[in-house]
Structure 1
Amino acid sequence: MEFGNGNVKSYGKAMVPGNAGLIEALHVDGAIGRQSRELMLFGQFVGSWDLQCSRTDANGTVAEMEGELHFGWVLGGRAVQDIWIVPGRGVPGEGIPPLAFHGSTLRFYDSTIDAWRSTWVEPVNGRVRRFIGKPVAGDIVLLSDEDEPQLRWSFTKVQAKSFTWVGEISHDGGSTWEVEELMHATRRTVNRAL
């Protein structure tokens, strides 16, 4: 449903004023430019994924949850953005901290450092973290040491239809690491209705 100048559209039950312009300007169909090959490091994940997530809280209690993950090309095909939602939309516990999260990462390849700059923004738990990412022995490893504790996020066992994401934490400057989160992602063959 559109009203007036087309700036208000109905998506499901919610009225979303003005989002059409943002979506059109932000999202594109693929990588562009001289760094198209490098952009495929994260471009290979474009699409929608189902997540099986295991998270450990501060008391050592493990929570098992299902979630969703969506990757897309943005900023004129010069970057890859993702949205992580755990538990998934409409699932009990959605948006309830500290175990739930609903955040986004914006990633781009920076030729001056021959690596990816990546920033995670997650309002449910009030987190913003910057990472530098590179391929390492068949995996993709992102390190953040701007705040304590140090974080290491890795994409491992990457296949066309699946991968494992590992979130590790270090309280001793990277000398030792412990797994805080583990997610198994399976590519959706058909997008579910939202």
Structure 2
Amino acid sequence: MYDTPTLSVHPGPEVISGEKVTFYCRLDTATSMFLLLKEGRSSRVQRRYGKVQAEFPLGPVTTAHRGTYRCFGSYNNHAWSFPSEPVKLLVTGDIENTSLAPEDPTFPDRWDTYLLTTETGLQKDHALWDHTAQNLLRMGLAFLVLVALVWFLVEDWFSRRRTRERASRASTWEGRRRLNTKTL
């Protein structure tokens, strides 16, 4: 039912400490939000724009950024894509910049929101308006169909009633006519 995004890292999955790295999460189905997850504790959140692809810049990296990453795409606030295939980031060297490092990496099996959530602010508002407009249009069309059906039913009822009244008048008139001809 839902697509699976593709996660890639540039310049590659093996980098030297201090290099800048960018994760690219791509989903062929247009979305408004992407989520990058890393095994371990959560960290700060940054917002980015993207319809089919989101960029997650990271760096300069340290050995604390080593780990397995996955990404998800969101179709709306309640529907998420399947997770991407895992990408393992290997950072060699040791520069003492741990401002983005997890403080207590004691939960290696736990997946938390790691770095970046990208959400299109204007696009999200536009998408919300789009859904609202679409829903209003659908409701309006449904109302018009309902009114048309009621109109057809009322018209049919009046038509049958008129036919019955004409038949009744005709039979009454025919009866009077027969009576008049018999009495004469």
Q: TM-score, normalised by structure 2?
A: 0.24
Task: Give the structure with higher Rg (CA).
Answer: 2
More helix by share: 2
More strand by share: 1
